[in-house]
Amino acid sequence: MFGVDLYGRVRLAVLGQGLSQREASRRFGIDRGTVAKMVSHSAPPGYRRTVEPRRPKLDRHAGFIDQILADDLNAPKKQRHTIQRIYDRLRDERGFDGGYTTVRDYVHPRRLRLKETFVPLAHPAGHAQADFGEAWAVIGGETRKVHFLVVSLPHSDAVFVKAYPAETAEAFCEGHVSAFAFFGGIPLSILYDNTRLAVAKILGDGTRKRSTLFAALQSHYVFEDRYGRPGKGNDKGKVEGMVGFARRTFMVPFPRARDFAELNAMLEERCRERQSKIPRGATATIGARMTADQAVFEDPPATPFNACDKRLGRVTSQALVRYKNTDYSVPVSYAHRDVMVKAYVDDVVITSGGDEIARHQRSYDAGDFVFDPLHYLALLEQKVGALDQAAPLQGWALPTEFATLRRLLEARLSQKNRCAAGKREYVQILRLIETFPLALVHGAVRDALRLGAISYDAVKHLALCRIENRPARLDLNRYPHLALTTVTTTSASSYMSLLSGETA
Per the prediction, the chain carries an average pLDDT of 87
Q: Is the pLDDT of residue 173 over 70?
A: yes
pLDDT bucket at 230, cuts 50 / 70 / 90: low
CB crowding 84-114: b at 16 or more within 10 Å, else e: eebbebbeeeeebebeeebbeebbeeeeeee
pLDDT bucket at 485, cuts 50 / 70 / 90: low
Q: Which residues pair with 338 in a beta bridge?
A: 314
Q: Is 414 helix (H, G, I), strand (E, B) or coil?
A: coil
- The whole-angstrom separation of Cα 65 and Cα 89 is 10
Q: What is the pLDDT of residue 496?
A: 74
Q: What is the pLDDT of residue 419?
A: 63
- For residues 212-218, give the mean pLDDT: 93
- The whole-angstrom separation of Cα 100 and Cα 500 is 128
> What stretch of H or E contains 161?
strand 158-164
Helices (H), 80-133: 83-94, 100-114
Q: What is the pLDDT of residue 92?
A: 93
pLDDT bucket at 176, cuts 50 / 70 / 90: very high
Q: Is the pLDDT of residue 366 over 90?
A: no
> What stretch of H or E contains 135?
strand 127-139
- For residues 176-190, give the mean pLDDT: 95
Q: Which residues pair with 153 in a beta bridge?
A: 158
pLDDT bucket at 504, cuts 50 / 70 / 90: very low
- For residues 454-469, give the mean pLDDT: 90
368-402 pLDDT per residue, tens:
999 999 999 999 999 988 998 999 999 899 999 99
Q: Is the pLDDT of residue 47 over 70?
A: no
Percent above pLDDT 90 for the chain: 58
> 99: left (phi > 0), else alpha (psi -120 to 50), else beta?
beta
